[in-house]
Structure 1
Amino acid sequence: MKLVTVTITTSRPGSIIGKGGQEVDKLKEELKKITGKDIQINIFEIKRPELDAPLVAASIARQIENRISYRRAIKMAIAATMRMNAEGIKIQISGRLNGAEMARNESYKEGRIPLSTFRADIDYATDEAHTTYGRMGIKVWIMKGEVYGKRELSPLVGMTKKNLSGGSSASKEGNSDAKRARRKK
């Protein structure tokens, strides 16, 4: 029998594991019935959920669905994220804000979010809040810092000068001899 590995990333692993691992065992049994294969469940904890864009977006969406003012939810999320030493956060919300007849967009930003910089470590996520007035879209950008030397962004990584110039080394030597001969004339 083959093994199916399920990886769950959560900010609260205790709610998934349950008392003595009962919830995980139930989940394994249900998945085993569906797939007919053995199941291995890996649960990873997100240590700082305030710096995880999908969790921040979901949190704002749930608060709006529970009739908390969108401005208050956004400002609380921004404050919590900046307290966790993020370099910047930007939140955009669009839809029928406060039940207005005309839909609009509003953006809230604190710190810096350089969207044109490759080395910026920016986490991005979207979510939707379903209200009685319709859907409200939420976009979240969180800048955690800058990436220095972790990865090379150039498409020419790992290529030597021989590989880049093309052709064989013998033909290059022949070309240089021909150039020298032309210069002497």
Structure 2
Amino acid sequence: MGQKTHPIGFRLGFSKPWESRWFARGREYRKQLHEDIIMRVKLKQKLFAAGVSSIEFERLPNLVTVIVRCSRPGIIIGRKGSEVNKLRDDIAAELGKPVKVLIDEVRDPEINALLVAENVASQLEKRIGFRRAMKKVLESALRRGAEGIKIICSGRLGGAEMSRTERYIAGRVPLHTLRADIDYGFTEAATTAGKIGVKVWIFRGERLPDSDTLSGEPVNAPSGMHGERDDARRPRRRPPRDNKDDARGSDRPRGGAKKE
């Protein structure tokens, strides 16, 4: 039975970068990986109001660089950089190493899958109808240039007794095409009826795994790459058969020559 592959993990190293970029051996690898996971969870909870889409870590022997990508960087930076300095000191105390914090603004939060999922979840928690919330973000993403979007909500939608799944799809979302720039986000809405899962896939055009991968420039696929057949690329192997010779009433003898 076919299963769903995580669209970001499927493209890691091809058209998607890793969120942790460093090298370590043995126990040091496990230690640093665990630190990244714990810090990512803590920072996501602490900076939730800033609309954080991703937190990346780069490590050198004596320096840890933390890259925070968010839609509202002013909340993290604060007045004259006071908040970001405090954040840097807190992370340095947690990791025990010098830390450098970089803030990168997400220009189009309407086509960032995680931020879209969090937007839908926040509306569900405010008792807004799930159909209205899903249609609103879907239309907004298409207006901002998304070529396709799929939204799935699962749970006790509308406070119903029995849980169910509702989905909306607009445009195309080619999950098996590696060069397709698919962004994926998942979150949960804590409603009075229980948890509601929200999944979002956004197709933002095609990219190749080179310098244009993260530049946002669309790439034109070569001829014959979208499933259409190119009849001019090679001749036919043999001419078409004559259907008249295959008819039952043919004069051609069957089963060898007739004996006299």
TM-score range, shorter chain: 0.7 to 0.9
Report the counterpart of residue 36 of structure 1 in structure 2. 96
Q: Are 1:93 and 2:153 counterparts?
A: yes
Task: Tell me how far 1:150 sits from its aligned partner.
Answer: 4.3
Task: Tell me how far 1:124 sits from its aligned partner.
Answer: 1.4
Change (3 A) 1:40 1:59: same
Q: What is the CA–CA distance in structure 2 between the aligned matches of 1:107 and 1:37, rounded to whole Å?
A: 45
Q: Partner letter of residue 31 of structure 1? A: I
1:25-81 Cα offsets, whole Å, 9 max, x none, are: 111222233233222101111111111111111111111112222111111100110
Report the counterpart of residue 139 of structure 1 in structure 2. 199
What percent of counterpart residues are identical?
A: 50
TM-score (norm 1): 0.76
Q: What is the CA–CA distance in structure 2 between the aligned matches of 1:48 and 1:149, rounded to whole Å?
A: 22
Structure (1/2) with the larger strand percentage: 1
Q: Which runs of 4+ in 1 moved over 4 A?
A: 148-151
Bigger relative contact order (CA 8 A; separation at least 6): 1
Of 171, 177, 187, which residue of structure 2 is paired with 1:127? 187
Change (3 A) 1:74 1:32: same
Report the counterpart of residue 64 of structure 2 in structure 1. 4
Q: Are 1:17 and 2:84 counterparts?
A: no
Of 121, 133, 141, which residue of structure 2 is paired with 1:61? 121
Q: What is the CA–CA distance in structure 2 between the aligned matches of 1:72 and 1:64, rounded to whole Å?
A: 10
Q: Are 1:52 and 2:52 counterparts?
A: no
Q: CA RMSD in A?
A: 1.8
TM-score (norm 2): 0.55
Q: Partner letter of residue 199 of structure 2? A: K
Structure 2: runs of 5 or more not aligned: 1-60, 212-260
State how many pairs are aligned: 151
Q: Partner letter of residue 121 of structure 2? A: A
Q: What is the CA–CA distance in structure 1 between the aligned matches of 2:113 and 2:78, rounded to whole Å?
A: 26
Q: Partner letter of residue 79 of structure 2? A: K
Structure 1: runs of 5 or more not aligned: 152-185
Structure (1/2) with the larger helix percentage: 1
